[in-house]
Structure formats: C-alpha cells, structure tokens
Amino acid sequence: MGQEAVVGKIILEGNLCLASSLLIGAGQGSDAGNDKDIHVLKNKKGTPIIPGTSAAGVLRSMIRDSIPQYEADLFGEIKEGNQKSGASNGIQSSVNIDDIVLKNGKIAFRDGVSIDSYTGSAIQGAKFDYEVVDSGATGKFYLEMTLRGWHLEDKNDIKSPIRHDIIQVVQYLRDRMKKGIQLGALTSKGFGCAVLTEDALGLFDFGKKQDVLAWLGNEEHHAKQASVQLTAPSDITAEEKNLLTVEADFAICGSLIIRDYDTDEKTKDGKPIAAVMLKRHGRYVIPGTTLKGVLRHRTEDILRQFSCETVGLENLMGSAKSDNEDEKKVKSRFFVREAEFSGEDGSVAGAVQQRNRIDRFTGGTIDAALFATKPVWQMKNGQKALHLSFGIRKASEAEAGLALFLLRDLWRGNIAIGGEKGIGRGRLLGLHATIRYRDDVWELGEKGKVMSGDMKKLNSFAEQFMDKEAH
C-alpha cells in the first residue's frame, strides 16, 4: 500500500453554541431581498447555517498561527507543479467538516453609522443595517479526519502505529474549541464567538478488527463508536505569539446610553421614550461595534497628539474602505468583546429621565419639546457595573504602550461611550484590570496602582510607543 492508503479515522463532534452574535453573509448574489444591507447565510429551509468551509478556515488559521508545522498534515497544501504537464505535488486535506445548522437560531437586526473622526458626528449617507444570528443558538458540529499512510510512525509500514503527535494536534483543536473560537465577519468587534460543548473525540484505527467492523457496520459514524476515546487534554499548549489582552472592571460615572432602535417602550403616562438603553437577553450591553469604534477614534486622537496623524492606524485597526479590488484590505489586529453589565445586583438600573429642548439663541425652553430617555444608571457608587475586554494580536512593545494609553483614558473617564456625551453620559471609572502580554501578567487596582507585575516593563512599553510615534 502507498502513503495515500486510508489507515484510520478520527471523529470530533459535539454542540457548537454561539456566545455572541454571528454574521456570515449570504453574498451579493443571494435572493434574500434588499431590506437589509447584509443578510445572514441560510439553507433552503431558511435556517441560518455556518458553512463547513468557514469552520475549516478558522481551524486551519489557528494551526498556522500556533503550530504551523502541522498545517499540511491536517489541511493539506498546494505545491507548484510541472509547468509543462500542469501536474502538482500537493497534499489533499485530511479534514472534512459538515455544515453547522443553527436550528434554534434567532435572526436579529443591527445597525450602525460611520463617524467622522475629526468632527465626531455621523457621516451623511453612511448608515447601514444588517442581520445577525443572535447569541444562544446551537448546532451540531461534526469533523471527520481521514488518516493516511503519511500519518503513521513509519510511512512505509502499514502496520505501524498512528503518530502520537497527530492525535495530540486534533486534541489541541478540541481543547481550543472548548475555550471558544470566532467565526464569520466582524470578529474583531466581538462577533462570532462559539464554544464546543458535549464533545466526543474518537479514534478508529483500521489496524484493529473492531474498529473496521464498527466503521463498516454503521451508516452514520460517531466518535463514541470508536475503540479509543480521546478524553484527556492535549499536551500541546501553544498560544498566539505576542498576544496582548486587557480585562478591566469599571463603574459608571453617572449614566450611559446606547440607543436600541428596535423598541417602542413608553413612559408611565403612555408617551414614547425617545431613546432606550440597548439590551440583549434581558441584560444591558455595549456592542463590540460601539466599543471598537470609540477606541479606534481615541487611537487617532492619541496619534495626533504625537504629530503622527494616522500612521500605522490601518495596520493595527484594519481597513476595508477601498473600492479597488486590486488593493489589499487589512485585517484588524485590534479586537474587543461585547460588554455586558454584569455587576453586583442593584449596581445598575435603567431609569427614565425627562428633558426639555432648549432654544440655543434665547436660552429658553422650546414649547411642546419635552421628551424622555432611559439610560442605565450607576446605583451604587464604586461597585462593578461592567467588564470590558480588548487586545492586540501580534502586538509590538510600542503597540502594547498604545494599549496602556487607551486603558488610562478609559480608567480616568476621558473616553465617553455611547450617546448624549454632551450632557455627561458615557464616562467610566476604573476599578480593576488584568494585563497579559507574552509571559507577563500585571494587576491594576484602585486609582490604577500596579498591584502585581513589573511596573518598569509597563513604563518601557509606554516610552517605546512615544519614541516610535514622535519621530
């Protein structure tokens, strides 16, 4: 037998659960209608799906970034062939992933608007809306890996055992999926977080009679039919290189509002409320799109302070503005997570505030211009109201310094999030933060004091950022 001979199968299956909203677009050629700028991908029955190609691409990228030496073993490779014959010496992919049907997937609608970085106001004609699959949806995940001769300890001996490191790599994928992966579009804005639950991982070794019979004797194949159940965690602990993450707890300085356009809430006397704080599944939230936009604009401000304008901004934050198909788009390395108000009971609450419009020329009230808004308010001073998470992939030390400046401005309330900033809404007060970069961890406490970790390193990151951007 040659090295292409099938010597076994590995099956990984379970439930894939969405921890945040998912956007995988149907494309311009879809017949979904034109009531939204982007529609989610659905099957013929109208049920949202995650294509197996999307999942395979994410897992392949994960292997390439952490343990690239195994990319070809699992996902194959294409090599340049003989130009005269057109033949290639590529290796076919060993991994096959079924489409994931999100049977309980609820379609929600999101909208947004582009903001002018100089004026801070909305750009005319730049409002957009799109569909998403709401968090909480689940679907069956099924991965089948075909083991061939090159996956054996001795490629030329069909009786040789299956390579232990290949098994470890599949276990590593399983472990990473249990921690959470990101699928689809807008992942840098917190979309597409998915977690594998109720997982099973089984090895069919066709050198064993019982595995051959189990495979041939069943029309549908499942991990638990295999003789070897791979339940132990992988010995591989590879993580992304130069990954910087910031996890921080905040209180609100007063109130905060991000308008929910999909509500018709009214006051006690039956009058419509002009603006209501956004909720997801009964909890107040700050969408990742809002948080990413705020931090991007603050980054521009910081760079301008050092007379750098936006040099390096698109390399960090990404860019897809160009209509030129030949111009390379840049994927964002800066990412955020959707933030829930998950503080202690009673630390925040929504409350209606009545306001009146003022004539800017006379300074008096405008007749019949009374209106109400319902922001979220900090009810107990100094208690945790929400948790923010952001970070940078493949971060340089200068970019780590930039992240510290962003955290500082959030901590001191210098960055306002959401609407009605002009009347003081949206400012935060830092309570606690954890910063991770490479092998180092720092803990920040009250007033930004460094509780643990090497403070000199943090200072050096800030100095490198200023040195880099000032010249």
Residues pairing with 6 in the sheet: 148
* C-alpha span between 315 and 392 (Å, rounded): 11
Query: What is the amino acid identity at position 377?
Result: W
Residue 338, CA distances (Å) to 137, 287, 348 in order: 17, 5, 18
Residue 34 in this model has a pLDDT that exceeds 80? no
Pairing of strands 365-374, 275-276: parallel
Kindly compute the dihedral angle of the four CA atoms of residues 299, 301, 303, 307, in this order, to the nearest 10 degrees: 170
Tokens of 374: 């319902």
Query: pLDDT averaged over the chain?
Result: 86
* C-alpha span between 197 and 163 (Å, rounded): 27
DSSP 315: H
CA dihedral over 394, 397, 401, 404, signed as positive or negative: positive
CA 444 to chain centre: 25
pLDDT for res 401: 93
DSSP 45: T
Long-range contacts of the stretch 317-322 (C-beta < 8 A, 24+)? 318/188
Residue 179 in this model has a pLDDT that exceeds 90? yes
pLDDT for res 470: 46
Residue 461 in this model has a pLDDT that exceeds 90? yes
pLDDT for res 33: 55
Closest C-alpha among 122, 116, 113 to residue 300? 116
* C-alpha span between 70 and 63 (Å, rounded): 7
Residue 320 in this model has a pLDDT that exceeds 70? no
Residue 445 in this model has a pLDDT that exceeds 50? yes
Exposure letters 241-273 (e unless 16+ CB within 10 A, then b): eebbbbebbbbbbebbbbbbeeeeeeeeeeeeb
- Per-residue pLDDT tens digits for 371-427: 788 888 988 888 899 999 999 999 999 999 999 999 999 999 999 998 888 888 999
Q: 164-179 and 52-66 helices cross at what angle (nearest 10)?
A: 110
Q: What is the pTM of this model?
A: 0.83
* C-alpha span between 449 and 429 (Å, rounded): 14
Identify the burial level of 363 via C-beta atoms within 10 angstroms of its C-beta, where 0-12 means exposed, 13-18 middle and 19 or more buried: exposed
Long-range contacts of the stretch 302-310 (C-beta < 8 A, 24+)? 302/402, 302/405, 302/406, 303/469, 306/466, 306/469, 306/470, 307/470, 308/469, 308/470
pLDDT for res 471: 44
More confident residue, 137 or 157: 137
Residues pairing with 434 in the sheet: 247, 443
Phi, psi of 446, rounded to the nearest 5 degrees: -55, 135
pLDDT for res 382: 82
Q: In the structure, what pLDDT confidence band is assigned to residue 310 with cuts at 50, 70 and 90? A: very low
Residue 103 in this model has a pLDDT that exceeds 60? yes
* C-alpha span between 277 and 376 (Å, rounded): 6
pLDDT for res 229: 96
pLDDT for res 343: 55
